[in-house]
Amino acid sequence: MTSVIQSPGGSTSLADVLNIVLDKGIVIDAFVRVSVIGIELLTIEARIVIASVDTYIRYVEAMQQLGALPRRSTPALPAAMVSPVAVYPQQPAPPVATT
């Protein structure tokens, strides 16, 4: 999949512009920095945390399907994976080795 290089300008989304401009650039301590109104940075951070839990669960489900593929014709998930929240509070979980 390809796309051409986009030049910054009127067609650049506001999200891209803010991403480029906010909290970047040389800071000169003596100068006041006017805050930018209407930008809810905290909301964005909270959303990222929620999104990552969501991603983790999606990854695990996808991986288990991949792991099950060679053995089963239809990928079946353990019941706990279908609705992981239902088994909370957690059962004792074996630590997973990292390499």
Partner 1 sequence: MTLALYGIVRADHPLPAGLRAVVLADLAVVVSDLGSGVELTAEDARSHLDVLCALMADGPVLPLRFGSVGPDDDSVRDNALRPDPEGLRLALDRLTGLVEARVHLTFDETAVLAALADARPTLTRPVTGFEATIEQGRQIADQVRAWIDQRAGELLAGLATETVALGESDDGGRSWALLVRANQLDRITTAVEALPDTVTARVLAPLPPYNFLSLRPKPASRWGFG
Q: How far is the CB of 3 from partner 1 (least distance, A)?
A: 6
The answer to whether 45 touches 23, Cβ cutoff 8 Å, is: no
Answer for which of 41, 46, 52, 72 binds partner 1 (CB under 8 A) is: 52
**Residue 37: how many CB atoms within 10 A of its CB?**
5
3-state DSSP assignment of residue 54: helix
Determine, following the binding rule CB under 8 A, whether residue 6 of this chain makes contact with partner 1.
Answer: yes
Rounded to whole angstroms, the Cα distance separating 55 from 22 reads 27
Measured distance CA(96)–CA(60) in Å, rounded: 13
41 sits near partner 1 (criterion: CB under 8 A): no
Residue from the set 42, 49, 50, 93 that interacts with partner 1 by CB under 8 A: 93
Site residues (vs partner 1, CB under 8 A) = 1-9, 12, 14, 16-18, 20-39, 47-48, 51-53, 55-60, 62-64, 66-68, 78, 80-81, 84-85, 87-94, 96-98
